[in-house]
Structure 1
Amino acid sequence: MAVTELKKAPRNPGPEWGFGFLTWADRWWPRPMFQLGLMIGTWVGLARMPAQRKHSREYLTLMLGRRPRITEIWRHFLAFAESLMQMLRAGRGQAVRCELKGPHGDEFVRLSRSNRPALFGTFHFGASDLLGYLLSDFGRNISIVRLRVGNSDDTRLLGERFSQRVRFLWVNDPQALLFELKDALLQGLSLAMKCDRVEFSARPEPFEFLGARRLFPFTIYHLAVIFDRPVVFCHALPTADPERIDVYASRVFEPATGVSREENLQRARMHYQAVLADLETLVRAHPLQWFNFIPMNPVVAQP
């Protein structure tokens, strides 16, 4: 499969040696000392990342109904740093087990254990970055749709650990995105993709989320209808046990036969709105687990 890259690839914030140092310190420092260092490092990151700090402030203002204190923004940054450490530890080999919660876990398990190619959606929320790798536990070959960025040891380590079942589909070029997705689907692969950022979506649509009609990518459902693939969404949250994450699965969306494409897309819109309603419930209960340090999804006028 062809890989398309931008001339100047984006990169994660921080120094080139940052991930390596975190991994080394996590391995050799006593845990209280490492946690203190992580908290201090979060203050440094807060000071050196004005754009992310601004977007965190705007998001927390929406969630809290007031301007957040600097310590609340710092806790938002720290929650992300702790999520990053969980990914780095998983990449080093730490066990991470997935415990299904909510009423639709059985549907998710039946689909995951089947041999039918499927589309798995999630969001930049909680421990969701680990879901694509945990799907490999069901014996699935998963192609994870990701943006290739520099300074990303978390992706490299996890990719190496789960290389027999998991591979990446890099989509740095928006113009080639649909061709890359179509190629993967024609090969019978299952795709795992995040569906909350609109910059790579050719046809976003408005849905109710956090008190407004906001644009969200809808590509996953167009692919489902065109290629007759089921869709299921999962949200994942860390727990007090560092080796466990709680997973909340949606109902499975199945394109119907014998109906028009537009009827199927209308059913898909209802499904996605229910997915976003469940996500909003979790986001309001765990606001620091929303890891989109970019502007909130654009608000559109009521129809």
Structure 2
Amino acid sequence: MKQQWLDRPEAGSPFGYRLISTFALLCGRTAARLVLFPITAFFLAKRGPERRASREYLQLALGRKVRLLDVAKQFYTFAAVILDRVFLLSERFKRFDIRVHGLDELRAQWEKKQGVLVLGSHLGSFDALRVLAEFRRDVKVRVVLDVEQNPALTRILNALNPELARSIINARQDGAVTALAIKEALDEAALVTLLVDRARPGNQVTIADFLGRPAPFPTGPWQIAAALKVPVVLCFGLYRGGNRYDLYFEVFAETLRVERADREASLNAIVQRFADRLAHYTRGAPYNWFNFYDFWQLNSHSDSGGPARDVPARPGVERGSE
């Protein structure tokens, strides 16, 4: 399976990221957001593959003919969320109206004094999860992240929050090492967060219906959750425009079970449940989708829409989140 998102160049230079983040912190969010319009226009003109992927996705999500304005709105939403990472990671939460839904469900899990896997996707802002620091500063959050996927942006954001940077579990390292780091964090009763909608070449995948078409999803995170017998909570941070975000938590499973007698069918059912929840939130906030590649790309072996497997490059956790 070729993953086009790995092959595309990083959308921006180190100098550009540094300039915009510095300008945002010095001049404020309102002034910085004015810069998003020329940035959106530039990438709308220059990033042909992303533009085509946006049209294909929006056709499914909106269920109507897609206009160039729709693509521009999706690009702008992405740029706005990236800008807001500067403020969210520097813990300037008062600039935002973040409405948290399902916090009691998450609280019920972490109050058991055990680790919790918090799974998300490239839908909206996973950084909105940082607002939890306002509710419980004693809760440790560990982020599983591919720090080498967007190195320039990652360096800038890490400089804004060195403590968070030190807590990152690098998903690019050996799979067994990553899995062990996740287990150790969960044993310390941490919230371990990772994005589970993208698979890398060599990852095991299964095919699930998403927005009416079959798409590949990684199975590694679900296998780890089942093996470690920890609660799994889904998280979706949706940007609603202006300064508003809606942060949704919902318990996916208190203990995830993969039946040994029918392991493949169990994994397929689990992943389909996740794909259904992802589709639900995607339809509610269609311009928040930030997978700018052919998400539904499939090899010929998956034409029937049934399960598919790539041979793992190495055992362990699904690698790659950003």
Same fold (TM over 0.5): yes
Q: Does the CA contact (< 8 Å) of 1:117 and 1:229 recur in 2?
A: yes
Equivalent positions of 1:150-229 (< 5 A) are 150-152=151-153, 153=155, 155-157=157-159, 159-160=161-162, 162=164, 167-173=167-173, 176-186=174-184, 188-189=187-188, 190=190, 191-199=192-200, 202-229=203-230
Shift of 1:154: 5.4
Q: Name 1:281's counterpart in structure 2.
A: 280
Q: Which range is displaced more, 216-225 or 149-158?
A: 149-158
Residues 37-75 of structure 1 show CA distances to partners (whole Å, capped at 9, x for unaligned) of 220121112223223222222222333445533222111
The separation in 2 between residues aligned to 1:220 and 1:30, in whole angstroms, is: 38
Shift of 1:117: 1.3
> What are structure 1's unaligned runs of at least 5 residues?
1-8
The separation in 1 between residues aligned to 2:8 and 2:69, in whole angstroms, is: 29
Return closer, same or farther for 1:75/1:108 CA change in 2, 3 Å cut-off.
same
Shift of 1:279: 2.1
Q: Does the CA contact (< 8 Å) of 2:171 and 2:178 recur in 1?
A: yes
Q: Name 1:245's counterpart in structure 2.
A: 245
Q: Does the CA contact (< 8 Å) of 2:41 and 2:72 recur in 1?
A: yes
Shift of 1:216: 0.7
Shift of 1:256: 6.6
Q: Name 2:20's counterpart in structure 1.
A: 22
Q: Does the CA contact (< 8 Å) of 1:221 and 1:231 recur in 2?
A: no
Alignment partner of 1:207: what SS?
Answer: strand
The separation in 2 between residues aligned to 1:246 and 1:31, in whole angstroms, is: 19
Within the candidate set 39, 42, 51, 1:41 is matched to: 39
Residues 81-107 of structure 1 show CA distances to partners (whole Å, capped at 9, x for unaligned) of 100111111233311575332xx5432
Return closer, same or farther for 1:170/1:18 CA change in 2, 3 Å cut-off.
same
Within the candidate set 294, 302, 305, 1:302 is matched to: 305
Return closer, same or farther for 1:209/1:78 CA change in 2, 3 Å cut-off.
same
Shift of 1:291: 0.6
Return closer, same or farther for 1:142/1:286 CA change in 2, 3 Å cut-off.
same
Q: Does the CA contact (< 8 Å) of 2:158 and 2:164 recur in 1?
A: no
The residue type paired with residue 215 of structure 1 is: P
- The aligned length equals 287
Q: Name 2:90's counterpart in structure 1.
A: 92
Return closer, same or farther for 1:117/1:265 CA change in 2, 3 Å cut-off.
farther
The separation in 2 between residues aligned to 1:33 and 1:193, in whole angstroms, is: 32
**Structure 1 runs of 4+ with >6 Å offset:** none
Shift of 1:272: 4.0
Return closer, same or farther for 1:105/1:33 CA change in 2, 3 Å cut-off.
closer
The residue type paired with residue 170 of structure 1 is: N
Q: Does the CA contact (< 8 Å) of 2:61 and 2:286 recur in 1?
A: yes
Return closer, same or farther for 1:116/1:263 CA change in 2, 3 Å cut-off.
farther
The separation in 1 between residues aligned to 2:168 and 2:28, in whole angstroms, is: 34
Q: Does the CA contact (< 8 Å) of 1:144 and 1:193 recur in 2?
A: yes
The separation in 1 between residues aligned to 2:84 and 2:107, in whole angstroms, is: 24
Q: Name 2:59's counterpart in structure 1.
A: 61
